[in-house]
Structure 1
Amino acid sequence: MELFPVLHELSERASRYSVNLNGRVSRTLGRNPLRGGTACVYHGTLKPEGTEVAIKTFYCTRSGSEADLKSFPFKRLFREVHTWSKLRHENIVPMLGISTEFDSTFSIVSDWMPMGDARTYVQNAENDPRPLLRDITNGLYYLHSHELGPVVHGDLKGPNVLVSNDHRALLSDFGLSTLNVSTFNMTTEATRGGSLPWMAPELLNDFVASKESDMWAYGMTILELFTRSTPFHDCRSDASVVRRIAEGSLPARPAEESTQFRLSDAWWEICISCWRSDPSSRPTITDVVEKLEATTVCTLSSH
């Protein structure tokens, strides 16, 4: 099938930053994809190695017009390819390449993570969230101190953290991420980003995502993994969540039994500090690393 003009242009642009895997990736038949707001994630195999891969296939329009390249879905796609392709770290899901062979649209190919996401993983109470939080901290430290300039994740939460075969946490889903130093041949507008229960209050007022809003989400992710529940899970509607965040009505410290007695004072103090209403008063991820090392909650290494 001949590519739509916009898809061909998209492929050419994205191929500047990633390996084109056309002809080397096959999707697994009979296995239902995971469906999200912007893409489906299929299981597949990379040839000739036989490596298991995830194929993130985007929902894209098929009009083939030049205007499509300027639409938000495509800008988000460009941002994801551009940013993700520059990330190399043990706590970041590796991006292997791109493909334009599926569903007349565009796909990003990455390592398959058989253990699923962090939220699902900790539903088994025997799985201690603290090693995952160590890995998340290391991954976020890498992003915020990237050599090309700080990378803002923009949508940090348990479902966007995947767990590898050896039980490491790896950050994923960089569709809302921004790399401050951009060499991509297209302007990508900043976006506020985020998912509501993890969203910093300034993002409700159309501020753009920042390292500071990442830290707010990091605090909510700590709470999420210790409690195995979405932040503000007691709210019955999005409007209630928005009201709680806007009013500064923060989550209460959960009962020790609900966290398997794992949520120490040190971890809870980190949560509270990440939820300060003034973004400039929140700790940096470097501050958190130093605090955790000082309190011997866990040993963190920077890469």
Structure 2
Amino acid sequence: MSWHGIEQFKTEITVITKVQHRNLVKLLGYCIHGEDRLLVYELLPNSSLDSFIFDTTKRAVLDWKRRSQIIEGIAQGLLYLHKYSRLRIIHRDLKASNVLLDNDLNPKISDFGTARIFGDDESRANTLKVVGTYGYMSPEYAMKGIISEKSDVYSFGVMMLEIITGKKNTSFSDMDDHLNLVGHVWNLWKDGRISDIADPSLGETIPMLEISRYVQVGLLCVEETAADRPTMSDVVSILNNESLVDLPVPNQPAFSAANRYRNNNNLVQNPESSDNTLTISDLEAR
């Protein structure tokens, strides 16, 4: 009864069988029997990242070293999809529940049912049917149906901030009535309150300079204009270069007042979907 349907099932098989990377899930097989469709992944005993990072007890297992390794692993997997795989692939639904963890908590990107394959000379595409998850979709994709590598970069930035804070973007609220996590982090970062951004479960003996750099990269990834966001090559380079200090200063992120765009652009939640997955039908570019 999956709302994804047979086309998304075929896309998943097509994509994942043609790519191989240590930070992508491995598909062992599949089965179709009547209306039932089954994907057989490699065994990933620690389930998904969201089951750890948003759980008040389990996230204590993820110290800063482990969280930074998870962020870097996801970045490497996404870079491979965008630049080094046999197919150029835009994931389109990158989020914590679509990142699975192996026995050693190494991240593996999964769920390629809505992925889009790009040609070598194709940098972006337009679609009238936008499929994704509220809170992770870039503004140009959510409102104009424009897909590019920078769409995934935006989703990665949101997830990066979630991993740092231990809070979920789409269910975040605070006493100052910030409408999402991204807006909350932006205001704290502007005020230099990095210690208030980091997940309290990380403790007090954490490398604030490194965390500040990761927060800044996350905010650069959620820039409102796609051209202002870094590529995944840039992100991986920054994360691997601890001596790099002159990072661009991010602008106010897109959708820091998330409900405004949700209410004004006719986002419709599919009643059979979960995790706030949304579709936008008959979307016209503005």
| Aligned residue number for residue 81 of structure 2 | 143
Given that 1:118 and 1:161 are in contact with CA atoms closer than 8 Å, whether structure 2 keeps it comes out as yes
Is 1:272 matched with 2:272?
no
Moved over 6 A (4+): none
Deviations 1:6-31 (A, max 9, x none): xxxxxxxxxxxxxxxxxxxxxxxxxx
Provide TM-score, normalisation by structure 2.
0.66
Task: Sort the Cα spacing of 1:251 and 1:200 in 2 relative to 1 into closer, same or farther, 3 A.
Answer: farther
Residue 127 of structure 1 aligns to which amino acid in structure 2? Answer: L
Deviations 1:217-247 (A, max 9, x none): 10111111122221153359xxx96xx79xx
Counterparts of residues 52-201 of structure 1 (less than 5 Å): 59=2, 73-101=5-33, 104-122=35-53, 123-128=58-63, 129-181=67-119, 191-201=129-139
Task: Sort the Cα spacing of 1:282 and 1:109 in 2 relative to 1 into closer, same or farther, 3 A.
Answer: same
Between the two proteins, what is the percent identity of the paired residues?
23
Counterpart-to-counterpart distance in 1, 2:133 and 2:69: 24
Task: Sort the Cα spacing of 1:251 and 1:257 in 2 relative to 1 into closer, same or farther, 3 A.
Answer: closer
Report the Cα offset of residue 145 of structure 1. Answer: 0.8
Is 1:213 matched with 2:151?
yes
More helix by share: 2
Counterpart-to-counterpart distance in 1, 2:85 and 2:97: 27
Residue 124 of structure 1 aligns to which amino acid in structure 2? Answer: R
Counterpart-to-counterpart distance in 2, 1:249 and 1:167: 29
Q: CA RMSD in A?
A: 2.9
Structure 2 counterpart SS, 1:140: helix
Larger Rg: 1
| Aligned residue number for residue 258 of structure 1 | 199
Counterpart-to-counterpart distance in 1, 2:198 and 2:184: 20
| Aligned residue number for residue 292 of structure 1 | 239
Counterpart-to-counterpart distance in 2, 1:199 and 1:219: 11
Between the two structures, name the one with larger relative contact order (CA 8 Å, sep ≥ 6): 2
| Aligned residue number for residue 20 of structure 1 | none
Q: Which runs of 5+ in 1 are unaligned?
A: 1-57, 61-71, 183-188, 298-303
Given that 2:164 and 2:197 are in contact with CA atoms closer than 8 Å, whether structure 1 keeps it comes out as no
Provide TM-score, normalisation by structure 1.
0.63
Given that 1:216 and 1:275 are in contact with CA atoms closer than 8 Å, whether structure 2 keeps it comes out as yes
Counterpart-to-counterpart distance in 2, 1:290 and 1:155: 23
Report the Cα offset of residue 154 of structure 1. Answer: 0.7
